[in-house]
Structure 1
Amino acid sequence: MGASEGLVIAVPKGRILKELLPVMQRAGIEPESAFHDDDARQLRFSTNVEGLEIVRVRSFDVATFVAFGGAQLGVAGSDVLMEFDYPEIYAPVDLDLGHCRLSVAEPTALADSDDPSRWSHVRIATKYPEVTKRHFAARGVQAEVIKLSGAMELAPSLGLCRRIVDLVSTGSTLKANDLVEVEHIADISSRLIVNRAALKTRPEEVGAWVERFREAVHAA
């Protein structure tokens, strides 16, 4: 079954998916058994709803699948939406899960004497280059951004830069790498996202799922 024949919802792999499953269940979606099998290699799954499939992809790719029409609906963090800022995406429902924050962090020793309000130029390691550039541009700070896909916490200790921008939940990873938050950029949560063209051309189908997810969040 292709995307043109039914609806596809893209969901992220990892921690958020575990939080998302109860919401999906309250919305009436039960994936096939292989979806819950950690050893299964497939990425596309049927559900108990005729005409609805699930694809499981990397969190950063969910927005791209939805923006370009590979999926009509998806679940993405607001960090991803901020980074890509696709005009093709509408995010009508905050799912109230995946809560964390996007922050600037630096070594504890540096933070003891540092004053972020006095920065004029910074070198930053992050997987959010666009968000980082916009944040510092709004402050009038010139930002030299080094894009990394992970392990940002290593960058200061290995001399790539003095500061990073990354997601922070409990702060334990920062603490383990002798880093501390020094600036808050945004609070993050996961959103139900929709392809705008699909909502326009298939308003009853897509709109009904938006309402079901909204009700599922309220039911929690």
Structure 2
Amino acid sequence: GLYQPLDLQIAKCRISVAVRSGFDYANMVKKGSRLTVATKYVAISREFFASKGVHVDLIKLYGSMELAPLVGMADAIVDLVSTGNTLKANQLVEVEHIMDISSRLVVNQAALKLKQAPIRRIIDAFESAVR
């Protein structure tokens, strides 16, 4: 029920798959092995791996996702990546890019219908600021 009229072009990052350095992710995926993946983005992860035909067991985690592969809890993680420094600091490497992320202006569709003029002014003001 949300309308996203504008990409604010801020807080840009990406959702990616990362594994321990030395883990042969490409071979595991190619062989059809079942992977254990830790993430807080369960729906996105499920859809991504299903579209590739990869069987995964998803573990929903919050917090320091990078620790899951290091302690043997998961083969991979799906998490937000900005610079990649946190991955490097934890001996992880990015192996697949899932999607780009950025902040969006979000408007409730019902409110937009009921208060179109004032909301349109707000959207226009944000759009001018983004340009």
Could you state the TM-score of these two structures normalised by the residue count of structure 1? Answer: 0.57
The answer on whether the counterparts of 2:19 and 2:25 sit within 8 Å (CA) in structure 1 is no
Deviation track 1:45-98 (CA, whole Å, cap 9, x = no partner) reads xxxxxxxxxxxxxxxxxxxxxxxxxxxxxxxxxxxxxxxxxxx11111011111
The answer on whether the counterparts of 1:125 and 1:155 sit within 8 Å (CA) in structure 2 is yes
Residue aligning to 1:136: 49
The CA distance in 2 between the partners of 1:181 and 1:100, in whole Å, is 13
Could you state the TM-score of these two structures normalised by the residue count of structure 2? Answer: 0.93
Residue aligning to 2:104: 191
% identical aligned pairs: 48
Residue aligning to 1:163: 76
The reply to whether residue 212 of structure 1 matches residue 125 of structure 2 is yes
The answer on whether the counterparts of 1:119 and 1:141 sit within 8 Å (CA) in structure 2 is no
1:205 to partner: Cα distance: 1.3
Equivalent position to 2:60, from 124, 140, 147: 147
Structure 2: unaligned runs, 5 residues or longer: none
Q: 1:100 to 1:148 in 2, by over 3 A?
A: same
2:113 partner SS: helix
Residues 76-91 of structure 1 aligned to structure 2 (within 5 Å): 88-91=1-4
The answer on whether the counterparts of 2:87 and 2:93 sit within 8 Å (CA) in structure 1 is yes
Regions of 4+ moved over 4 Å: none
The answer on whether the counterparts of 2:11 and 2:103 sit within 8 Å (CA) in structure 1 is yes
Residue aligning to 2:21: 108
Deviation track 1:7-52 (CA, whole Å, cap 9, x = no partner) reads xxxxxxxxxxxxxxxxxxxxxxxxxxxxxxxxxxxxxxxxxxxxxx
Q: How many residue pairs end up in the alignment? A: 129
Deviation track 1:111-165 (CA, whole Å, cap 9, x = no partner) reads xx43165153221101100000000111111221111111000001112111000
The CA distance in 1 between the partners of 2:83 and 2:121, in whole Å, is 36
The answer on whether the counterparts of 1:108 and 1:178 sit within 8 Å (CA) in structure 2 is yes
Higher relative contact order by CA 8 Å / sep ≥ 6: 1 or 2?
2
Deviation track 1:188-214 (CA, whole Å, cap 9, x = no partner) reads 111101001100111011111111111
1:156 is matched by which residue type in structure 2? P
The reply to whether residue 124 of structure 1 matches residue 25 of structure 2 is no
The CA distance in 2 between the partners of 1:119 and 1:167, in whole Å, is 27
RMSD between superposed Cα atoms in Å: 1.2
Structure 1: unaligned runs, 5 residues or longer: 1-87
